[in-house]
Amino acid sequence: MDQAAGKALARALGIGVLGGVVFHFIGLPLAWMLGPLSANLIASARGADVRVPERLREAFLGVLGLVLGSQVTPELASRVLEWPLSMALLLVGVAASTAAAAAWYRHCGFDSVSAWFASAPGAMTAMILMGEQCGGDPRRIAIAQSLRVVLVVLFLPPLFWALEEPASAAEAASPAVGGLGLLLLLPLVIPLGRWVRLPTPALLTPLLCAALLSGFGVTRLQLPDWGMALMLWVLGSAIGARFRGLSSAKLGRYLAEAAVATLLALAVLAAFAELIHRWVGVPRDVALLALAPGGIGEMAILAVALDLDPVFVAFHHLLRMVALMLVAPFWARWLGRKTS
C-alpha cells in the first residue's frame, strides 16, 4: 500500500470512529456500522480522500462469512425443507420490486436498459457489466446500485428499532468466544473461491467452509463484542467511502432518486415479507430482512448484528443472487434486441 492510500485508509477509519462514537452516544441502533457509514458518506461527498482497500474489505467480509457459516447446525437441513414457499415468494417479489423501481428510474430520465439494471436488487458487478454491454450507462447503474445498498442499510435498523425494538438488537447476551483458529483459513479459502469463480467469493467461500465444520460439530466461530464492533466499523467505513469523487450536488440528486426507488422496492417486498410471515411462520422482521433489496454481505451483517436468523436471511439472499445471475443474461439479450 502506498503512502497516499495509507493516509486515505487512516482518514476513513478515523472518520468512522467519530461517526460510531456520535451514533453510540445518541443511542441509535448498529452505531458501529451506521455511524462510520454515514460519516464517510458525508466526508466523501465533501471531497475528502477516504478509501478502504478492497483486500481489507474482503478480509472482513471473510470474517463475516465464518460467523454466518458457524450458525449452521445439523438441524438446518430439516429447516430448509420448510422454505420452498418463502423461496417462491422471494422470486416473485424480486420481479415485482424490480419492475416498480425501474418504472421510477424511467420517470427520472434513465434509458430502459439502465433503469432495469439499476433496479435489479443484487449481483451488483454483474448488473453493471451486463447493463453496459446492452447499451446502458454503467456509471448511473453503479451509483444507483451502490446507493440502494447504503439506503437499505440505513433504513432498516431504525425501522426495526422504532416499530418493535427487539431485545436482540440492544439487549442480546454477549456470545461466548470460540473457534478463533478458523480465522487462519481466510488466506487459503478466499483465493480458492476466486479460482472456482463463486459469486462474492470473499463472503461465500468462508461461509461454506465454516458451515461444513459447524454442521459436523467440529468447530464454530463466536466473536467477542469488540470483534463484532471492529468488523462493523471497517465494513461500514468501506460502504460509505464508495462515493469518493462525486460532488455534493450530484450525490444529493442521485440520493433523492435512489431513495424513492428504494422505498418503492421496500414497500413491494414488505408485502411479500408479510405473506412469508403469515404463511411460513417466519418472524416479520426476519422475513423483511431476507427479502430486503440490499447486498448479501450488507444484509448478512445486519442479520448477525441484530440476531435475526442469519442463516435464513443469507440463504434467501444467496438464492436471489443466483436467480439474478441465471435470468439476467436472457433479460439482457431481450433488452438489447428491443433497444437496437
State the pLDDT at residue 164.
Answer: 58
340: pLDDT confidence band, cut at 50, 70 and 90?
Answer: low
196 or 175, higher pLDDT: 196
| Residue 73 in this model has a pLDDT that exceeds 80 | no
Residue 178 three-state SS: strand
- Largest Cα separation within the chain, whole Å, is 59
State the pLDDT at residue 78.
Answer: 67
CB 231 within 8 A of CB 55: no
The string of DSSP codes covering 150-180 is: HHHHHHHHHHHHHHT--HHHHTPPPPPPB-G
| Residue 315 in this model has a pLDDT that exceeds 90 | no
| Residue 289 in this model has a pLDDT that exceeds 50 | yes
The most confident of the ranges 68-82, 111-125, 126-140, 296-310 is 111-125
State the pLDDT at residue 71.
Answer: 77
The 3-state DSSP composition of the chain as helix, strand, coil percent (nearest 5) reads 80, 0, 20
State the pLDDT at residue 162.
Answer: 65
Q: Residue range 285-313: average pLDDT? A: 86
**pLDDT averaged over every residue in the chain:** 84
The gap between the terminal CA atoms of the chain, to the nearest Å, is 44
CB 40 within 8 A of CB 12: yes
State the pLDDT at residue 146.
Answer: 84
State the pLDDT at residue 1.
Answer: 62
| Residue 74 in this model has a pLDDT that exceeds 80 | no
How buried is 247 (Cβ within 10 angstroms: 0-12 exposed, 13-18 middle, 19+ buried)?
A: exposed
Kindly report which listed range (95-109, 149-163, 222-236) carries the lowest average pLDDT score: 149-163
CA distance 273 to 284: 7
**pLDDT tens, position by position, 230-256:** 988 998 898 888 877 777 788 889 999
Which residues partner with 252 through β-bridges?
Answer: none
Closest CA to 147 of 49, 243, 35: 243
Query: φ and ψ at 297, to 5 degrees?
Result: -65, -45
| Residue 329 in this model has a pLDDT that exceeds 90 | no
CA distance 111 to 29: 38
Residue 246 three-state SS: coil
**pLDDT tens, position by position, 13-24:** 999 999 999 988
314: pLDDT confidence band, cut at 50, 70 and 90?
Answer: confident
State the pLDDT at residue 177.
Answer: 60
% pLDDT > 90, the chain: 30
31: pLDDT confidence band, cut at 50, 70 and 90?
Answer: confident
